[in-house]
A and B are shown apart, each in its own frame.
Chain A
Amino acid sequence: NAGVTQTPKFRVLKTGQSMTLLCAQDMNHEYMYWYRQDPGMGLRLIHYSVGEGTTAKGEVPDGYNVSRLKKQNFLLGLESAAPSQTSVYFCASSLSGARGYTFGSGTRLTVV
């Protein structure tokens, strides 16, 4: 089925560890996004990309890095995890940047 696939679905990290979250889409969408969702805070944009090889900061980029080496993949990296990064992370893609965001099913990350 076409869509957005996120891996892993769950992860527990110790403070200071690093990890990479992978997002893959097979819809040939130009735009891709990483959001975090926390109770009462809605969806907050971490980083986004408007095409292969491009990345840009969202509203909460500190502590995260991203790469988009291939159009279908968007990677989110945590270099040194902190408890404040405990959250549910969603990747999304869009053809035009506005209409019809397609979201993945999320990654639940706990940093202890």
Chain B
Amino acid sequence: QQQVKQSPQSLIVQKGGISIINCAYENTAFDYFPWYQQFPGKGPALLIAIRPDVSEKKEGRFTISFNKSAKQFSLHIMDSQPGDSATYFCAASLLGAGNNRKLIWGLGTSLAVNP
């Protein structure tokens, strides 16, 4: 019940296209949903995040869409560029045992944007 299921595993998009990565969860206790971007040879870096009381958050070309009733959230990359080629991780956070926060990760999506 604490899993976050991410799809697709890999994605190829043409330059200028829209990249869409989806995540689904079961546990309604999750209350914070970040996306991380990882370039080869680097650690993941926080890209954008959303709370469940908001249906959409946009930062530049990156948008999170959140559907609370369906327990799904997605990352949209508009006007995708070759520089966006990276691995993207969704995650979900909740309060765990001992009142400590836990972050549950999706398995990642490898995005390649062709020039």
* A contact residues vs B (CB 8 Å cutoff): 4, 31, 40-43, 50, 90, 92, 94, 96-106
Number of A-B contacts (CB under 8 A): 52
Contact A105 B44 (CB under 8 A): no
Q: How far is the CA of A50 from the CA of B101 in the complex (A)?
A: 9
* B contact residues vs A (CB 8 Å cutoff): 9, 32, 34, 36, 41-46, 49, 89, 93, 98, 100-103, 105-108
Q: Say how far A68's CB is from chain B's closest CB, in angstroms.
A: 14
Interface of B is mostly: strand
Q: Which residue of A is nearest B6, CB measured?
A: A42
Partner of A105, one of B43, B100, B101, B102: B43
Partner of A106, one of B36, B41, B100, B108: B41
With A40-B107, A41-B107, A43-B89 known to touch, is A98 a contact of B44 (CB < 8 Å)? no
